[in-house]
């Protein structure tokens, strides 16, 4: 608004001077008039960059007042006086309401004092009209500033309330999720735990009565079977309710390894990087691959040691290497679950590489791209020992040998044995 008024006064004044409508306007006076108005336009540009800084606001207000005096002193056409109404408006934001009203009163008083030197000025309708319009302009300036200030405060207050509401909503959601997880944990403990206790007792009873009273043992086995069915159903219900919780591949694989690890089937877990930023769908797919690979290693490969490696970078990579009997990759059994794993990886733009040979164990490497779609199927380097042999396109796997002479993970691939 101020820039528009400055420009209007500048154009009108220059027009009057060039058109000869104000003969008293000298070249020096016109130059000072133009320079002061251009400087005021520059002040408005500076004010836009520092409007939130109170120290700048006070300094800019003083600069405006000084330049307005220059405009008034060099203006021979009388148009510059209208710009005085801007002073209370700017003062309202930099100094407050009292200063704004005080400056408006001061300018009105100065105007009355100036015209008082004109004899019988109160009988001159033009002078009285000018004073009345000046008074109305000052009042409107203060009122407009008050309305604008109130709107600005309301907007800031609304933004603050919206931020607080969003924070409260997040906290409510977190508390609700924590409450639901705690409830499910209690349900699992109270229901499934009870059923497991019943199963244990019934099986112990069946074992004790197996020789003396087979009928009692059979009933105990039947009771244990029914308790197992109820426990499985409750587990399914609980797991279904928990699916909405965030998935952590590291936590899930660690729990899987812990559940399968025993004296005859040792599992070691190695981690590298953070899974943050990776898509949950890809991480869940890698978990399913880990399940299948560990199941095959235990049931079919005859392995007693397995190393599971998780690496997170541009891609999430799972590597499962065992020291089992191995197999010829080209003669892979149809029921091994590998085709399903390949399809799962391919659907996500990932890769699945299997390196194995009879007597040399098996190494399975699955990789899915990160959230940005970049993968590491090519050029990835996986170091497992020494004697590097090629695995897949551009990937290299080096397989060492365990103390019994069996390779912990095969080193066979393109260019291998």
DSSP letter, residue 189: I
How far apart (Å, rounded) are the C-alpha atoms in residues 262 and 99? 82
99's CB contacts (< 8 A; 6+ apart) are 91, 92
Edge-to-edge strand ranges of the sheet holding 266-272: 266-272, 305-312, 315-322, 362-369, 351-356
Contacts of 196 (CB under 8 A, 6+ apart): 231
The pLDDT, as a whole number, for residue 175 is 86
Bridge partners of 311, per DSSP, are 272, 317
Do the Cβ atoms of 316 and 287 come closer than 8 Å? no
Query: What would the mean pLDDT of 410-416 be, rounded to a whole number?
Result: 34
Taking the C-alpha atoms of residue 278 and residue 375, their distance in angstroms, rounded to an integer, is 11
CB atoms near residue 219 (< 10 Å) = 15
Q: Is the pTM of this model over 0.75?
A: no
pLDDT, tens digit, 9 for 90 and up, residues 84-127: 888 888 888 888 888 889 888 988 898 888 888 888 888 888 88
Rounded to an integer, what distance in angstroms lies between the CA atom of residue 317 and that of residue 224?
41
Give the residue carrying structure tokens 């101020």. Answer: 2
**What integer pLDDT is reported at residue 236 of this predicted model?**
73
| Residue labelled with tokens 């009928």 | 215
Give, as one character, the DSSP assignment of residue 415: T
Distance of CA 88 to the CA centre of its chain: 44
Evaluate whether 348 touches 369 at the Cβ level (below 8 Å).
yes
Could you read off the pLDDT of 332-359 as tens digits, one per residue? 655 557 777 888 788 888 999 999 888 8
- Average pLDDT in the 388-395 region? 32
Average pLDDT over residues 32-43: 86
Arithmetic mean of pLDDT, 305-309: 93
């Amino acid at each position: 608004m101020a820039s528009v008024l400055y420009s209007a006064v500048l154009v009108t004044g220059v027009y009057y001077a060039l058109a000869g409508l104000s003969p008293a306007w000298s070249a020096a006076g016109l130059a000072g008039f133009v320079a002061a108005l251009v400087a005021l336009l520059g002040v408005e540009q500076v004010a836009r960059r520092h409007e939130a800084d109170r120290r700048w606001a006070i300094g800019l207000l003083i600069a405006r007042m000084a330049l307005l005096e220059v405009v008034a002193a060099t203006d021979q056409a009388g148009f510059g006086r209208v710009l005085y109404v801007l002073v209370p408006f700017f003062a309202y934001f930099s100094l407050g309401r009292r200063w704004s009203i005080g400056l408006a009163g001061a300018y009105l008083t100065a105007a009355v004092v100036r015209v008082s030197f004109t004899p019988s000025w109160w009988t001159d309708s033009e002078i009285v009209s000018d004073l009345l319009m000046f008074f109305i302009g000052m009042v409107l300036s203060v009122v407009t500033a008050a309305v604008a200030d109130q709107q600005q405060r309301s907007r800031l207050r609304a933004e603050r309330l919206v931020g607080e509401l969003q924070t409260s909503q997040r906290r409510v959601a977190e508390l609700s999720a924590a409450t639901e997880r705690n409830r499910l944990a209690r349900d699992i403990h109270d229901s499934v735990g009870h059923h497991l206790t019943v199963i244990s007792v019934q099986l112990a009873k069946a074992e004790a009565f197996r020789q003396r009273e087979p009928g009692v043992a059979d009933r105990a086995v039947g009771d244990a079977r029914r308790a197992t069915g109820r426990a499985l159903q409750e587990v399914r219900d609980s797991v279904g309710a928990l699916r909405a919780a965030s998935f952590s591949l590291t936590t899930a694989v660690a729990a899987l390894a812990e559940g399968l690890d025993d004296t005859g089937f040792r599992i070691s877990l190695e981690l590298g990087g953070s899974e943050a930023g990776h898509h949950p769908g890809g991480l869940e797919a890698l978990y399913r691959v880990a399940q299948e690979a560990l199941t095959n290693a235990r049931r079919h490969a005859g392995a007693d040691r397995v190393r599971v490696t998780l690496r997170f970078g541009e891609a999430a990579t799972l590597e499962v290497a065992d020291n089992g009997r191995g197999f010829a990759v080209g003669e892979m059994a149809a029921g091994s679950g590998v085709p399903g794993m390949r399809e799962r990886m391919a659907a996500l733009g990932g890769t699945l590489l299997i390196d194995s040979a009879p007597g040399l164990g098996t190494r399975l490497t699955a990789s899915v791209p990160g959230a940005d779609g970049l993968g590491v199927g090519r050029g990835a380097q996986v170091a497992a020992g020494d004697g590097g042999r090629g695995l897949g396109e551009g990937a290299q796997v080096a397989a060492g040998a365990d103390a019994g002479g069996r390779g912990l993970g095969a080193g066979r691939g393109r260019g291998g044995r």
